[in-house]
Amino acid sequence: MNLIVDVGNTLIKLAVFKNDVIEFYSSTKKEELELTLNEIKSEYLSIKKGILSSVGSFDDQSVFQFFNFPFINLNHHLKFPFKNRYTTPKTLGVDRLALVSAAAMHYPNEDVLVIDAGTCVTFDFLNSKNEYLGGAISPGLRLRYKSLNDFTANLPLLPTESPKEIVGDSTANSIHSGVVFGVVNEIKGAITQYEKQYPGLTVILTGGDSEFLSKQLKNGIFATSNFLLEGLNFILEYNS
């Protein structure tokens, strides 16, 4: 069994894998982490190794001190199952490394675009030669809602909501239309551009907003919430 810890910008996701299958999953806030770790420690005695990925500042000892098995801290010095053609590899987020690793594992010899819709929307492209070429980064749904409130005098901060119409008939509906359709059309436009250059492209949509956005996007996109966790588990096995 493997323990996977993914520290994101908002939440911490934890998973226990057995033979590449998730046996346990939890998404928790930082202040609730110790409780979840104690639960895992008492329930899963067969865990042999673990990996931790963090996109920001995080005290990894708050996790490592709970367990006596080997733990890998995800960084750019590990081995990865693809050729990295990014021109600034040391600046590449560890979450993106995990997503591309999952793409290499699940879709060998295919052109794959992984779209991670979370705090940011990231686009990561792995070609059929198993080369990671890069992608794009833009603000996610909540960042867009928040920026409208932060940088204007009168626009309210709204919860994420599916717009009923493209034409917003109120300030609130106009914000929903602008934010949600803005992200949706950005994703659609990126996919169209990639497909022109790479026919037969496989598209993966993942991240915290993937379920919400998948309802607005066309069929043929694979939506999965655990893609990053699967990539981390694969990296752990690849480096063991």
Cα 16 to Cα 31: distance, rounded to the nearest angstrom: 20
- For this structure, is 95 an active site residue? yes
CA distances from 90 to 76, 78, 97, 207 (A): 6, 12, 11, 23
Report CA torsion sign: 238, 99, 74, 5. negative
Q: Are 132 and 82 in contact (CB under 8 A)?
A: yes
Nearest to 200 by CA among 132, 113, 122: 113
Cα 157 to Cα 26: distance, rounded to the nearest angstrom: 28
Catalytic residue selected from 6, 95, 116, 209 = 95
Both structure tokens of 117: 């819709």
Burial class (CB in 10 A: 0-12, 13-18, 19+), 174: middle
CA distances from 64 to 37, 42, 44, 154, 238 (A): 10, 15, 16, 46, 20
Report the Cα–Cα distance between both ends of the chain, in Å, rounded: 13
131: left (phi over 0), alpha (psi -120 to 50) or beta: beta
Catalytic machinery residues: 95
